[in-house]
């Protein structure tokens, strides 16, 4: 197995998803725009670090018809944002803190009041609704969002849920997606040249020459999911026992894998210990320009998709400016800037010319409708099904 103590160049690899997943990178340490008048209207947003460039916030400020105070606070991971939502709904926790601990100098404490909007990942929506951490957007508010109708139907369906957080085409709108990415294949150009082919789809990961040459995220849904995709099945399959040859194919893939790690799967590829990696575009895109020997490809049969969305915490009163911010992120010109500057995809599908994207990122960011249609969001599965995924994954890794 790969030695994780090897001397490796530092990379920006982080665990995109932690509950299932976490997330990553922003040029916005904390942006506060507008004067400090306590009576001034405020818009407070807690967002995933790296998901919105500071110039977008400044442009939003300039677009407003009146002076308001904007406070955009970046947070490192989705998991931390989810915990913040929980903390706001459990005020009693603030009194459990030791008395002396409240007087530690320079200690950062979370905001006492809930923000108007918060970034959340799509996989966390069901749990947030079940735990009553967020509230739906008002029906009248959704109707007034100018760009709502411009969203692809799949995005509208993703955020329409019932009160248990399940997908429901007649349900309320619980979130507003503003960027997305996917699970992709990253390979070492020079190493693969020796084999005389380059990967295009999941089935290539079983080819000769890759035994013990693959590093992959340590996530049962991702690993079993790519095997299911190879077999023409869904990432969200609920009964794994119903899929013939699944265990055999998974065992064959395991023989190709040298390292399972959600944090360090890119390092062995960078130094050449592995030749191919499977991981999240948010981890992979930041390193492409630094390591030209690496090439990324989206599997042509489809892949798993993740999304960052705006949600409104429970108890926060709806205000005009939070709605305006959501709509602003969906304006085609702004959606394009968010996509290009954060090197992510936009749910609005702005028209981006290949020349506007640096060459290493074009294959990941250019809109490919056929691949998008064949890709899937990872939906929450019943506990019994999740246990099935985890058990099978653990069993195969031990062989």
**pLDDT (tens digit, 0 to 9) for every residue of the chain, 399 residues total?**
434 433 333 333 334 444 444 333 344 545 555 444 555 678 999 999 999 999 999 999 999 988 889 999 999 999 999 999 999 988 634 444 443 343 434 334 455 678 999 999 999 999 999 999 999 999 999 999 999 998 999 999 999 999 999 999 999 999 999 999 999 999 999 999 999 999 999 999 999 999 999 999 999 999 999 999 999 999 999 999 999 999 999 999 999 999 999 999 999 999 999 999 999 998 998 898 899 999 999 999 999 999 999 999 999 998 889 999 999 999 999 998 998 888 888 898 766 666 666 666 666 666 667 788 899 999 999 999 999 999 999 999 998
Answer yes or no: are the C-beta atoms of 380 and 123 closer than 8 Å. yes
What pLDDT is recorded for position 151?
A: 92
Locate 113 and state its tokens.
Answer: 């009041």
Locate 80 and state its tokens.
Answer: 């931390």
What pLDDT is recorded for position 345?
A: 87
Burial annotation 109-139 (CB, 10 A radius, 16+ → b, else e): eeeeebbbbbbbbbbbbbbbbeeebbbbbee
Cα(189)–Cα(295) distance, integer angstroms: 6
Q: Which residues have CB under 8 Å from 60's CB, separation 6+? A: 70, 324, 325, 328
Q: Which residues have CB under 8 Å from 259's CB, separation 6+? A: 1, 2, 4, 215, 216, 265, 268, 274
Max alpha carbon distance in the chain (Å)? 68
Strands (E), the chain: 16-17, 21-22, 31-33, 42-48, 69-75, 117-121, 134-135, 160-161, 172-173, 176-188, 214-216, 257-260, 276-280, 294-297, 304-313, 376-377
What pLDDT is recorded for position 9?
A: 37
Answer yes or no: are the C-beta atoms of 304 and 117 closer than 8 Å. no
What pLDDT is recorded for position 97?
A: 45
Answer yes or no: are the C-beta atoms of 35 and 69 closer than 8 Å. yes
Locate 55 and state its tokens.
Answer: 């110039």
- Of 214, 150, 199, the C-alpha closest to 176 is 150
What pLDDT is recorded for position 99?
A: 39
Locate 62 and state its tokens.
Answer: 């300039």
Place of tokens 């932690």: 18
What pLDDT is recorded for position 399?
A: 83
Cα dihedral value 247, 251, 257, 259, nearest 10: 70
| Phi, psi for 321 (deg, rounded to 5) | -75, -30
User: CA separation (Å) from 375 to 167, 234, 300, 303?
Assistant: 17, 9, 9, 5
Residue pLDDT, tens place only, 278-306: 999 989 988 988 999 999 999 999 999 99
Long-range contacts of 320-323 (CB under 8 A, 24+ apart): 321/41, 321/43, 321/64, 321/68, 321/116, 322/43, 322/45, 322/116, 322/117, 323/137, 323/141, 323/144, 323/145
Answer yes or no: are the C-beta atoms of 370 and 355 closer than 8 Å. no
Answer yes or no: are the C-beta atoms of 330 and 145 closer than 8 Å. yes
- Number of Cβ within 10 Å of residue 161's Cβ equals 21
Answer yes or no: are the C-beta atoms of 53 and 91 closer than 8 Å. no
Q: What is the pTM of this model?
A: 0.83
Alpha-carbon Rg of the chain, whole angstroms? Answer: 22
Task: Please give the CATH superfamily to which domain 183-305+379-397 belongs.
Answer: Periplasmic binding protein-like II (3.40.190.10)
In terms of DSSP bridges, do strands 257-260 and 176-188 run parallel, antiparallel, or are they unpaired? unpaired
Cα dihedral value 331, 159, 377, 354, nearest 10: -10
Domain extents for the chain?
A: 17-97+109-180+306-365, 183-305+379-397
CATH topology of domain 17-97+109-180+306-365: D-Maltodextrin-Binding Protein; domain 2 (3.40.190)
What pLDDT is recorded for position 359?
A: 67
Residue 186: is it exposed, middle or buried by C-beta count within 10 angstroms (0-12/13-18/19+)? buried
DSSP class of 114 = P
């Amino acid at each position: 197995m790969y030695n994780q103590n090897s001397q490796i160049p530092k990379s920006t690899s982080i665990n995109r998803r932690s509950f299932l997943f976490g997330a990553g990178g922003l040029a916005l340490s904390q942006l506060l725009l507008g004067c400090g008048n306590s009576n001034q209207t405020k818009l407070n947003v807690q967002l995933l670090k790296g998901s919105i460039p500071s110039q977008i916030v400044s442009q939003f400020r300039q677009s407003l018809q009146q002076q308001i105070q904007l406070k955009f606070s970046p947070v490192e991971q989705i998991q931390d944002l989810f915990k913040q939502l929980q903390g706001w709904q459990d005020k009693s926790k603030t009194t459990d803190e030791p008395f002396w601990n409240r007087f530690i100098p320079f200690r950062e404490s979370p905001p006492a009041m809930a923000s108007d909007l918060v970034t959340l990942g799509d996989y966390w929506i069901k749990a947030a609704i079940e735990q009553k951490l967020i509230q739906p957007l008002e029906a009248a508010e959704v109707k007034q969002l100018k760009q709502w109708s411009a969203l692809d139907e799949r995005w509208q369906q993703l955020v329409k849920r019932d009160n248990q957080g399940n997908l429901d085409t007649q349900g309320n709108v619980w979130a507003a997606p503003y960027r997305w990415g996917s699970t992709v294949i990253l390979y070492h150009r020079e190493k693969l040249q020796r084999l005389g082919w380059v990967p295009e789809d999941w089935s290539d990961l079983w080819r000769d020459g890759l035994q013990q040459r693959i590093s992959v995220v340590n996530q049962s849904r991702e690993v079993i999911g790519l095997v299911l995709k190879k077999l023409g099945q869904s990432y969200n399959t609920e009964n794994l026992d119903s899929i013939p040859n699944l265990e055999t194919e998974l065992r064959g893939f395991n023989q190709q894998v040298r390292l399972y790690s959600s944090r360090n799967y890119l390092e062995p590829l960078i130094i050449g210990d592995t030749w191919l990696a499977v991981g999240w575009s948010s981890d992979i895109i930041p390193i492409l320009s630094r390591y030209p020997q690496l090439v990324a490809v989206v599997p042509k049969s489809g892949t798993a998709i993740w999304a960052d969305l705006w949600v409104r915490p429970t108890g926060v009163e709806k205000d005009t400016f939070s709605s305006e911010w959501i709509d602003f992120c969906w304006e085609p010109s702004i959606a394009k800037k968010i996509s290009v500057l954060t090197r992510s995809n936009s749910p609005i599908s702005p028209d981006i010319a290949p020349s506007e994207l640096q060459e290493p990122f074009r294959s990941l960011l250019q809109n490919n409708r056929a691949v998008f249609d064949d890709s899937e969001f990872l939906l929450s599965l019943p506990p019994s099904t999740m246990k099935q995924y985890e058990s099978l994954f653990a069993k195969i890794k031990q062989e």
